[in-house]
Amino acid sequence: MLLRGSHVIAEAAVRAGCRFYFGYPITPQNELTEYMANALASLPDGVFIQSESELAAINMVIGVSMTGKRVMTSSSSPGISLKQEGISYLSGQELPAVIINTMRGGPGLGNIAPAQGDYLQATRGGGHGDYRTIVLAPGSGQELADITRMAFEYADRYRIPVIILGDGMMGQMMEPVEFPDPIDPKSLPPKPWVLDGAEGRPSRIIKSLILDTSAMEEHNWKLFRKYEAISREVPEMEQFLTDDAHLAVIAYGTASRIAKGAIKRVREMGLKVGLLRPKTLWPFPKRILLQMSRTISDFLVFEMSAGQMLEDVKLSLEGRGRIHFYGRPGGIISTPDEIAKVINNIYFKEGLERE
């Protein structure tokens, strides 16, 4: 099927057994909301509400998630800021949910052009309190489909909100996609913690208020242990032409597509350059990156921001390798030629060996 990115996410969500969607209009991701409106209207168990605000949407997500059913919301940067209250509650209450952020230029109202300025917000929790969310960064149409399916799996497996971090370019881009078989929501394993009326069992509470400080500490450590397990089990990184590389570009999402184009160009000139593309931004694939530093001396972090993932690269490499940065914030989309020039510059300046 040939579909634009926003529609791929929506279709993949429905096929993952998601029958509940709540959202508020915001550019550049309205196509996703509109697709869900159509798709869920045609399903007998589908529920779509255009909410009065992003705050309302994320709180409706909380309500559905409490009943154990797969549920999604989507927005773009300013709207995601509003959802952070609910994301913090979902985290504290250990509720699964999938949240799509089609990033745009910021801060503030910014613009509607593709950008990657919400990296730190997404990977550092984003709302109040000591928590993390799984953050997935698709790099192609096919991956939008696959990652959306995974997002629901992870959300249920770890009882955690999962954020798919894309941008307007990803959302509009049309590529051929093969979808996995649809899941019947009724076939999903029952969750033993849901609220559905306490018929025939003791009543349950889902809450995040823990007034006793020792109990609150233990809850935080419990979350921490979960995050540790996720950090071991979930990180993923695509490696492209890295076997013989002296320099690796590190980029995710749309930036990684631009970087790939640039790498193909400089490879033709005999420069040994590869790409490292994190598919998970939290947990960041730091172990893989650290391993790469045995053979790669130079790392160029390329982001559509003033430098946010850069912090994770520095933390992961623990002082190994030379780290370079190139980024353009505000919704500017660099061209592959522009990045090729940047690579060239670094390559020659550092005196790296050519073929």
**Cα Rg of the chain, angstroms:** 21
User: Least CB distance from residue 65 to another protein, whole Å?
Assistant: 7
Determine the interface stretch with another protein among 106-114, 189-197, 219-227, 234-242 (rule: CB under 8 A).
189-197
Is the separation of the CB atoms in 96 and 121 below 8 Å? no
Instruction: Provide the terminal-to-terminal Cα distance of the chain, rounded to the nearest Å.
Output: 40
Determine the interface stretch with another protein among 3-11, 55-63, 150-158, 160-168 (rule: CB under 8 A).
55-63
* Residues touching another protein, count (CB under 8 A): 38
The set of residues, in sequence order, having a beta carbon less than 8 Å from that of 38 and lying 6+ positions away, is none
Is the separation of the CB atoms in 35 and 5 below 8 Å? no
CA-closest candidate to residue 69, choices 163, 230, 184: 184
Q: Does 64 bind another protein (CB under 8 A)?
A: yes
The set of residues, in sequence order, having a beta carbon less than 8 Å from that of 217 and lying 6+ positions away, is none
Q: Does 200 bind another protein (CB under 8 A)?
A: yes
Q: Does 153 bind another protein (CB under 8 A)?
A: no
Residues from 19 through 38 that contact another protein (CB under 8 A): 20, 22
Q: Does 198 bind another protein (CB under 8 A)?
A: yes
Work out the angle at residue 234's Cα, subtended by the Cα atoms of residues 10 and 191, and round it to the nearest 5 degrees. Answer: 65
Give the H/E segment covering residue 100. Answer: strand 97-103
Quick one: 6 or 65, whose CB is closer to another protein? Answer: 65
Helix (H, G, I), strand (E, B) or coil at 249: strand
User: Least CB distance from residue 92 to another protein, whole Å?
Assistant: 9
Determine the interface stretch with another protein among 23-31, 98-106, 201-209, 344-352 (rule: CB under 8 A).
201-209
Binding mask 292-331 for another protein (x = CB under 8 A): ----------------------------------------
Q: Does 128 bind another protein (CB under 8 A)?
A: no
**Phi and psi based region of residue 197 (left: phi greater than 0; alpha: psi -120 to 50; beta: remaining):** left
CA-closest candidate to residue 65, choices 150, 157, 154, 161: 161
Q: Does 60 bind another protein (CB under 8 A)?
A: yes
CA distance 90 to 77: 19
User: Least CB distance from residue 161 to another protein, whole Å?
Assistant: 14
Residues from 73 through 92 that contact another protein (CB under 8 A): 85-86, 89
Q: Does 178 bind another protein (CB under 8 A)?
A: no
Q: Which residues bind another protein (CB under 8 A)?
A: 20, 22, 47, 49, 51-53, 55-57, 59-67, 69, 71, 85-86, 89, 93, 195-200, 203-209
